[in-house]
Chains A and B, each alone.
Chain A
Amino acid sequence: MNITRGFTGRPRVDDPGLPPGQYDAGDEWPVLSAEVTPDLAPADWTFRIDGLVADPRTWDWEQAHALPASAYEGAIHCVTSWSKFGVRFGGVSLDAFLDVVRPRGSATHVVAYAHTGYTTSLPLSDVTGGRAWIAWEYDGRPLPAEHGGPARLLVPHLYFWKSAKWIAGLRLLDHDEPGFWEGNGYHPRGNPWEEQRYSGD
């Protein structure tokens, strides 16, 4: 890295919760979707898991809500450099859905896809073990449409483009199939603690 003449940057904060290259966005929650925000009612929302699973299955809003409730409280990190702390999401752990469809041993990756057509790819190990949710509440209220409501994928330990808004389903694969941003030069995994922003990081 070459020093930029005269650049000092914002005051340094010693915040162990802040990944490298990120700043605390405070109360702001920027919206960065590339698609038109869909007009999607809960009654029209469905979530499907198929691909390398024993029992492919589609849940509607009521069926998904019948699964055990699970919450996430913590930080989220966007690749454009902001992080947001103390966010509270409510929904269902993705493990609860996966337990029903029973992934095959050959499954290594998932493609998450949205009702709008957006896609993102993740290693299966990043969406299991209590680290991923289907979230429909934010701060105790219904998740706003511009933030992915009625329901979005939530994978808070990775950059937030992995947390697909308006989630429609997961397809389990035995290989990595790049999604929307991964096919646009972004990193296949997107771990903020290793600053995996772009391909090659």
Chain B
Amino acid sequence: MPGRIGVSARTASVWRTATLTEIRRETPRVSTFRFAVPDWPGHVPGQHLVLRLVAEDGYAAQRHYSIASAPDDSGHVELTLDHVEDGEVSGWFHTVARPGDRIEVRGPLSGFFAWPGDRPALLVGAGSGVVPLMSMLRHHRARGLTVPLRLLVSVRRPGELIYAREFGAETTPVFTRSAPEGVAVGRMTAAHVAPIMAERPSGGWEAYVCGSNSFAEHASRLLVAAGQPVERIRIERFG
């Protein structure tokens, strides 16, 4: 299954300094971290980067994170991070980091989960799995693209819906534990997928699924059962 874009090997190998410029709270456990990376080579929505934190004794921790921001954000990238229990890296971001701090990043990486804005995009995410999909949605808006884009996003409760204020008619939230008045509570089902599949956009949907492994398994099965070709389902799992 081919990637959507080529990736420069040279781009992937260089460590660049990223300066934290802003921290925005998204939900009680999730914040967005904005970085200035003056020589950022640019990315395509859906790509990830690798970041590195280094302790005084030289100990380094590297993590892969999806990029949340759209490409047209000159010299800036945004990451949206969960505060993971006992997470040495996310813990630093959520309790120590402040504007002005400098870290190191490399990338962007992977052309597989990338969406250049060409094909109709069916995006399915859960929890912070919405992050790379948000980069696609923002790109779609920023460029005024007319190719169809739909987002299904699953969260436990309304207060955990990241980017809630930014969603429009293209997005259907699914609430698994509690929902706003008049909205059903329950897992994502075939009934959520069917109306989108029925749109049958020209050229067919390119599906992007991001979330935990159990969510990715569930969502990809729903898509396959609804007739989405397996070779047009791209999956990014946490881990």
Contacts and interface: CB of A to CB of B under 8 A. Distances in A.
Given A5-B101, A198-B12, A36 B233 contact: yes
B110 A184 contact: yes
Nearest to A25: B239
A1 B10 CA distance: 18
Interface size on B, as a range, is 35 or more
B225 to A, nearest CB: 11
B167 interface: no
Contact of A12 (B7, B59, B111, B235): B59
Given A1-B104, A9-B61, A31 B239 contact: yes
B60 to A, nearest CB: 6
Interface in A38-83: 38, 78, 80-82
B50 to A, nearest CB: 8
B63 interface: yes
B39 interface: no
Contact of A3 (B1, B9, B54, B233): B54
Interface size class of A (residues with CB under 8 A): 35 or more
B179 interface: no
13 contacts: A2-B104, A3-B56, A5-B102, A6-B101, A31-B237, A37-B217, A183-B111, A185-B9, A185-B109, A197-B62, A199-B13, A200-B10, A200-B13
Given A31-B237, A31-B239, A184-B3, 5 more contacts: A4-B53, A6-B92, A7-B61, A36-B233, A198-B13
Ranked nearest first, the 5 interchain pairs of A and B with the lowest CB-CB distance are: A30-B239, A200-B13, A185-B12, A199-B9, A31-B213
Interface of B: 1, 3, 6-15, 17, 50, 52-64, 88, 92, 96-97, 101-104, 106-107, 109-113, 213, 217, 220-221, 224, 230-231, 233-239
